[in-house]
Amino acid sequence: MDRRTFLATSLMGSVVASIGSAAAAAERYFPVKVDQSLFDTINRVKVPGKKTPLEMSHAPAITAPKMVKAGELFVVEVSVGENVHVMGPVHWIEYIELAIGNEPVGRVEFQPRGFMKPKVTFTLALPKDLAPAGVVTLVALQRCNLHGLWESTLDIAVG
Ligand SMILES: [Fe+2]
């Protein structure tokens, strides 16, 4: 084997080994097949009365009073899924966000730890001018590392 052939073979071998080890590492940390279409858009429940298992475990569940008084404290609870989503090093919820319409309220980020639960509480007091029509829309958004962005909304009256 001449020097040129040796170098070309060595280089090719190291490239293949590098790609192989990267793929092995990816499979080690992400052994679950991912549906890439879930990352193309913001996912929402399609038929509220007939949620799929994926929708049940990923659509944010918002709990809030149906009516609040302007300026008074109230609590909004957001949990990821009706069946609380799993949290672990392979599959976890990265964050939960809450907005009032287009107005951001806050964001809670999670570490991929099994003892964490993707359920958070926001305490709000809405000024009257935020709800000129007497209604605001709470918008909850969450991101799952394997199943993409999911959004749910809930209208509440502000008196
Ligand atoms: Fe998920």
CA of 90 to the centre of ligand 1 (A): 10
Average pLDDT over residues 49-62: 95
Average pLDDT over residues 26-42: 77
CA of 51 to the centre of ligand 1 (A): 15
d(CA 51, CA 111): 27
Question: Does position 16 have pLDDT exceeding 50, yes or no?
Answer: no
Average pLDDT over residues 122-146: 95
Give the per-residue SS3 of the chain.
Answer: CCHHHHHHHHHHHHHHHHHHHHHHHHHHHCCCCCCHHHHCCEECCCCCCCCCHHHHHHCEEEECCCEECCCCCEEEEEEECCCCCCCCCCCCEEEEEEEECCEEEEEEECCCCCCCCCEEEEEECCCHHHCCCCEEEEEEEEEECCCEEEEEEEEEEEC
> At 14, is the pLDDT very low, low, confident or very high (cuts 50, 70, 90)?
low
CA of 155 to the centre of ligand 1 (A): 26
Question: Does position 150 have pLDDT exceeding 50, yes or no?
Answer: yes
CA of 104 to the centre of ligand 1 (A): 24
Q: What is the pLDDT of residue 33?
A: 79
Average pLDDT over residues 95-103: 96
CA of 18 to the centre of ligand 1 (A): 29
CA of 139 to the centre of ligand 1 (A): 19
CA of 122 to the centre of ligand 1 (A): 23
Q: What is the pLDDT of residue 49?
A: 93
30 or 59, which is more confident: 59
CA of 146 to the centre of ligand 1 (A): 5
5 or 24, which is more confident: 5
CA of 47 to the centre of ligand 1 (A): 19
Average pLDDT over residues 85-99: 96
CA of 158 to the centre of ligand 1 (A): 33
CA of 114 to the centre of ligand 1 (A): 14
